[in-house]
Amino acid sequence: MKKYRYTVDYTLTDPEGRVIDTTEGKGPFIFTTGQNEVIPGFERVVSQMEEGEEKTFTVHPSEAYGERREELIETIPREALEGIELKEGQILQGTTPDGRTFLVRVVSFNDKEVVLDHNHPLAGVPLTFKVKVLKKEEV
């Protein structure tokens, strides 16, 4: 299967139309098909576009960051995060016993426990992209 390197401008919005990310003011985004560099739904649609083409499309959670999973929310003792000043919504980085890093979001906390969410922040969210293909080249 042929692989292509795409150079695109895009704006990503949530269902309420709030901008989540954009290349505006940052320069274009470059990715290569077949390399797992972008979410599957984005690659699927963009790989059908040609240079100069513009399109607005929505990627459902199943082709993005998945559905939210309640089993990925956990409650831990507050002392497990002793010395860390917590804020609701804060993103914390942790390390698994085998050395891999992961991110969690602080849902809530009190003196006794902390509720953490291991879901990706965009899990369960349909994502709308406005994309313009600036360049498409076979690699």
Give the pLDDT mean for 70-85. 95
Regarding whether 85 and 43 lie in a shared domain, the answer is no
Per-residue pLDDT reduced to its tens digit, 32-62: 999 999 999 999 999 999 999 999 999 999 9
Provide the residue range defining the domain that includes 79: 70-117
The one-letter code for the residue type at 45 is: V
Task: Quote the DSSP letter at residue 41.
Answer: H
SS3 87: coil
| Burial of 5: CB neighbours in 10 Å, binned 0-12, 13-18, 19+ | middle
Q: Give the number of domains in the chain.
A: 2
Q: Could you tell me if 59 and 77 lie in one domain?
A: no
CATH classification of the domain holding 83 = 2.40.10.330
